[in-house]
Amino acid sequence: MKSLTSKAFVQFILIQFCYIYSSTDNLFLMKQTIFLLILFLFLSGCSKHNEEAKIEIAADEAYPRWIIKDSLHTTQTSGIAFIGEKEQIKYFLLADDNGVLHRFSIESDTLFELKKIAFNENVKVYLDTFPKPDFEEISFDKKNNKVFLSIEGTSYGKINPARKEANVKWYAGIYELQFKDDDLFSDTIVSIQKLHFEPEEKFFEHVKSNIAFEGFTFDDDYFYAGLEGFQEQKIFADSTFIYIINRATKKIIKQINTKELGIFTICGLYSPENKTLLGIDRNNKKLFKINFSDQMDISSFAFKEIKTRVPNYPAIGYVASLESITMDNDNNIYMIDDPWTTYFVPAPDILNKMDKKTAEHFNNFIPIIYKFKLN
């Protein structure tokens, strides 16, 4: 059922019926009318996110594929951003959770190239102050030629091997990167600046060590930051938050709890158009879509389960951790599996069914990329 009537209007009608029947002696009829109106109000509220919501995608037959070129590969890739196409070659930026960026290209749909991005001395010195420069989401604003990077605050790493307590909120957050000569193909980052959103205490309220914003995207008017989730004793809860931020003022205008949407985790966000989000719920293996009204309320919601398969072995599944999403100029969606080292490698009896190179890729935790056509 579509929600065509606002709560305020239904409440007005309810009051009118109460007034009409209060002047009669038909108490049963009045109670029945009130009950039906309350039931209608409840059903309207429950259905408000389902209006005309749908996602139609088709898996590319040439995918999934390993992100490797000869011996060069990425490690724990958590972010991907499409940055453009030149001479029929599609280019992307990749972000790894070990503090490394790559430029990644795809030619003829299957030929991969990787180029490591360098940091100038100032950026190196800055990142060296982090216990661990844990890169997550990366996104590219083509209109303004800006690159944004989400960094997770981790309280341990090369300068803090004892895992002593650290204020992870000093490090966690959203950063703006600048390439040399403002050219994404210069392959060198010359500046990194942290963005500050207000109220800051609200933005960082649920940030912890290894829990921050694994989803970040934008449209013309808003930033959208998705908290990975809530975790206790290494178990994730059944909901998380999406923060909607005014781009001009950098003030949070809305905080959305995803519980009623059934979204457990947010590990990638992309906005294909204004007031629309595509995202990944890693723990549920789902692609979700949210449309917002002009008032930035959720007007529709849909999701699609993603089936993860071993490259070249479509009949064999494995434990995947999809953690990034982007879209190219041809409506193709790309997702990357950031190998969860505890569960990524299949059991020996499953590995024995595969060729030697595939088994090596699993044992070396090579990330896997997926491609879908959005219809």
pLDDT digits (tens, 9 = 90+) for 89-140: 999 999 999 999 999 999 998 899 999 999 999 999 999 888 889 999 999 9
Residues 229 and 116 reside in one and the same domain: yes
Residues 73 and 14 reside in one and the same domain: no
In a domain, 1, yes or no: no
**Token digits of residue 151:** 């960094």
Residues 78 and 13 reside in one and the same domain: no
Pairing of strands 235-236, 241-246: unpaired
Share of the chain above pLDDT 70, in %: 81
Tell me which of 199 and 375 has the higher pLDDT: 199
- Which of the residue ranges 56-65, 230-239, 267-276, 309-318 would you say has the lowest mean pLDDT? 230-239
Residues 215 and 250 reside in one and the same domain: yes
Calpha distance 67→73 (Å, rounded): 6
Calpha distance 364→339 (Å, rounded): 10
- Looking at residues 161-166, what average pLDDT do you find? 55
In a domain, 34, yes or no: yes
**Token digits of residue 39:** 């039931």
Residues 237 and 103 reside in one and the same domain: yes
Pairing of strands 252-257, 269-270: unpaired
pLDDT recorded at residue 129: 87
In a domain, 255, yes or no: yes
Residues 30 and 104 reside in one and the same domain: no
pTM of the model: 0.84
Question: Do residues 326 and 90 lie in contact, with contact meaning Cβ atoms separated by under 8 Å?
Answer: no
Task: Please report where in the chains the tokens 């992307």 appear, as a residue.
Answer: 92
In a domain, 259, yes or no: yes
pLDDT recorded at residue 1: 31
pLDDT recorded at residue 237: 77
Residues 19 and 112 reside in one and the same domain: no
In a domain, 90, yes or no: yes
For residue 367, what are the CA distances in angstroms to 2, 134, 143, 230, 273? 41, 16, 30, 25, 28
For residue 157, what are the CA distances in angstroms to 62, 129, 164, 196, 338? 37, 11, 10, 25, 19
- Looking at residues 312-328, what average pLDDT do you find? 94
Calpha distance 372→374 (Å, rounded): 6
Residues 97 and 142 reside in one and the same domain: yes
Residues 186 and 141 reside in one and the same domain: yes
pLDDT recorded at residue 163: 47
Question: Do residues 345 and 361 lie in contact, with contact meaning Cβ atoms separated by under 8 Å?
Answer: no
- Looking at residues 354-371, what average pLDDT do you find? 96
- The gap between the terminal CA atoms of the chain, to the nearest Å, is 25
Residues 262 and 353 reside in one and the same domain: yes
Pairing of strands 276-281, 269-270: antiparallel
pLDDT recorded at residue 5: 36
pLDDT recorded at residue 2: 32
- Looking at residues 183-189, what average pLDDT do you find? 95
Residues 37 and 170 reside in one and the same domain: no
Calpha distance 359→362 (Å, rounded): 5
Indicate the average pLDDT of the chain: 87
Which CATH number goes with the domain that contains 202? 2.120.10
In a domain, 125, yes or no: yes
Q: How many domains does the chain have?
A: 2
Calpha distance 135→97 (Å, rounded): 4
In a domain, 52, yes or no: no
pLDDT, tens digit, for every residue of 2-51?
A: 333 344 444 444 455 554 455 555 555 555 655 555 554 444 444 455 45
Range of the domain at 327: 57-374
Pairing of strands 111-116, 322-327: unpaired
* Backbone phi, psi, residue 29, to 5°: -65, -40
In a domain, 319, yes or no: yes
- What's the length of the chain? 375
Residues 326 and 352 reside in one and the same domain: yes
- Looking at residues 348-364, what average pLDDT do you find? 94
